[in-house]
Structure 1
Amino acid sequence: MQKIATFLWFDGQAEEAATFYTSLFPDSRITQVARYPDTGAGESGPGEPGSVMTVSFELLGREYVALNGGPVFHFNEAVSLLVECDDQQQVDDLWVKLTADGGKESQCGWLKDRYGLSWQITPRILLDLVGGEDREKAARVFAAMMRMRKIEIQPLLDAAEG
């Protein structure tokens, strides 16, 4: 069992977001939905009694918890989810789905989804190329990546060749 889970704060969209995220990746599922209790004292937290409080879910075997905590806190780029992709088709597919319905492209493979959560959609070959022993090649690849929004593999390979 995983000892640390990523906890994500939403303003009423926790279940919707968890359902969306689990639809994107194989081996992903919602594991539990907890609802705000009715304490009888008029104190149920930021949600109405019976409304969704938290949604526990797994993405590719990793645990996450989404909380409907209200409008107090918002996501920012200081935290993002990195997805290592095997090929351009996987990059393209995730990019389209995550930027749909109000998501926003950023640069260098970063985007924000419709809920404001930042993602890095990164082909594994990019990590290999910039982390390799040949620092001149890594610099060329890095420079090519810096000009991109969505990462395109072929231009990275072309830059690696010089």
Structure 2
Amino acid sequence: MASRVSTFLMFEGKAEEAMTFYVSLFKDASVTSIKRYGPGEPGTEGSVMMASFSLNGQRFMCIDSSVKHAFTFTPATSIFVDCESEAEIDTVAAKLSEGGQVLMPLGEYPFARKFIWLADRYGVSWQLSLTNA
């Protein structure tokens, strides 16, 4: 079996909420597994020990860290989505930007007919693009 590469997202108590939100944004998306902390385990009981989900065939993993860290997500790493229609980019951009921060506003750019770069309400950075092709 070949090695698997996945994007891994660490949250502090919002992993399941974020994962459920992300899965709701795309047609081909699902939660593929979830394991929660139980009584007496090192994380908050019921929070996500390890979960995986799929967005349009791309596998992601996420956890709720019980340890407070001095770091969080950064826009230097983002999830890039090639949208298939103007309706998709408009809808996904509107939902992801709610409670988040727009880094580059939705509009036309030399490299894309329509593009937006944002950090969502959880701090995860996204680039959505509708290319010229």
Q: TM-score, normalised by structure 1?
A: 0.67
Greater helix percent: which structure?
1
Partner residue of 1:4? 5
1:103 to 82, 100, 110: 100
Which residue identity is paired with 2:13? G
CA distance in 2, matches of 1:15, 1:107: 27
SS at match of 1:91: helix
**Alpha-carbon distance in 2 for matches of 1:96, 1:83:** 14
TM-superposed CA distance for 1:2, in Å, is: 7.2
Question: More deviation in 2-11 or 15-24?
Answer: 2-11
1:50: how far off? Answer: 4.0
Matched residue type, 2:58: R
Aligned to 2:108: none
Question: Could you list the runs of 5+ residues in structure 2 that have no partner in the other structure?
Answer: 106-115
Structure 1 residue identity aligned to 2:124: L
Query: How much has 1:58 moved relative to structure 2?
Result: 0.5
Q: Is the 2:100–2:123 Cα contact (8 Å) retained in structure 1?
A: yes
Residue identity (%): 41
Partner of 2:128: 121
4+ residue segments displaced more than 4 Å: none
Pairs aligned (count): 120
For 2:3 and 2:28, the matched residues in 1 are separated by: 16
CA RMSD of aligned residues (A): 1.9
Structure number with the higher strand fraction is 2
Matched residue, 2:29: 28
SS in 1 for 2:104: coil
After superposition, residues 1-162 of structure 1 pair within 5 angstroms as 3-38=4-39, 44-45=41-42, 47-70=43-66, 71-72=68-69, 73-100=71-98, 102-107=99-104, 109-125=116-132, 128=133
Q: Offset at 1:36?
A: 2.1
Would you say the 8 A contact 1:104–1:111 is kept in 2? yes
Larger Rg: 1
